Amino acid sequence: MKTTLPSTWLNHTHEIELHYVRPLFEEMQYIRSSKSVNEMIRQYANPKQLDVKEHFWTIFLNNANGVVGIAEIGTGSCTSVIIHTKHIFQLALLTNASAIIVVHNHPSGKLSISRADKGITKKLCNAGDLIDVRVLDHLIITSESYISLADENLM
């Protein structure tokens, strides 16, 4: 038996509603350099985990480089972490971020920038260009130190 659907049902639209409330800091924290990113992420990350598994974080910034949010995007194994570009930019849009900075750790302790690190940075920059969200930097941290792709002129 074939049934026809009423036209009002076919034309019915659904709405998606997203809610975000900016975290209230005692005072707004600002990013001024790769050093300030390193200091901030170390307050947020569990130092005991830096030498165990790879983690990937994103810092979301307003137009004045004030921090409007920090999110852990993924936790992986001792050699890699899987991230999804759309997840990062979904959060960027939700927080109304003008820019982002991404950070991940190398449990090996080596501060070398891999081909994969350069590739994901380029992919994020290209995606950000499409929606006017700048990718300002990509830091790689270890329990002792850090390296910045922006400081190395690789952005």
In tens, the pLDDT along 57-114 reads: 999 999 999 999 999 999 889 888 999 999 999 999 999 999 999 999 999 999 999 9
Q: Which helix (H) or strand (E) holds 60?
A: strand 55-61
User: What is 112-151 written as a DSSP string?
Assistant: ---HHHHHHHHHHHHHHHHTT-EEEEEEEE-SS-EEETTT
Q: What's residue 140's pLDDT?
A: 97
Domain of residue 144, residue span: 25-148
CATH number of 46's domain: 3.40.140.10
More confidently predicted of 127 and 49: 127
For residue 91, being part of any structural domain is answered with: yes
pTM exceeds 0.85 for this model = no
For residue 18, being part of any structural domain is answered with: no
pLDDT of 10 over the 70 cut: no
Q: How far apart are CA 65 and CA 100, in angstroms?
A: 9
More confidently predicted of 74 and 14: 74
Q: For the chain, first and last CA: distance in Å?
A: 61
pLDDT of 5 over the 60 cut: no
Q: What's residue 1's pLDDT?
A: 56
Beta bridge partners of 37: none
pLDDT of 12 over the 60 cut: no
Q: What's residue 47's pLDDT?
A: 87
For residue 66, being part of any structural domain is answered with: yes
For residue 141, being part of any structural domain is answered with: yes
Strand-by-strand arrangement of the 146-148 sheet: 67-75, 55-61, 99-105, 134-141, 146-148
pLDDT tens profile 102-149: 999 999 999 999 999 999 999 999 999 999 999 999 999 999 999 999
For residue 47, being part of any structural domain is answered with: yes
pLDDT tens profile 17-34: 555 555 555 678 999 999
Q: What's residue 67's pLDDT?
A: 94
pLDDT of 153 over the 70 cut: yes
* pLDDT interval class at 49 (50, 70, 90): confident
For residue 13, being part of any structural domain is answered with: no
For residue 154, being part of any structural domain is answered with: no
Number of domains in the chain: 1
Q: Which helix (H) or strand (E) holds 7?
A: helix 7-10
For residue 120, being part of any structural domain is answered with: yes
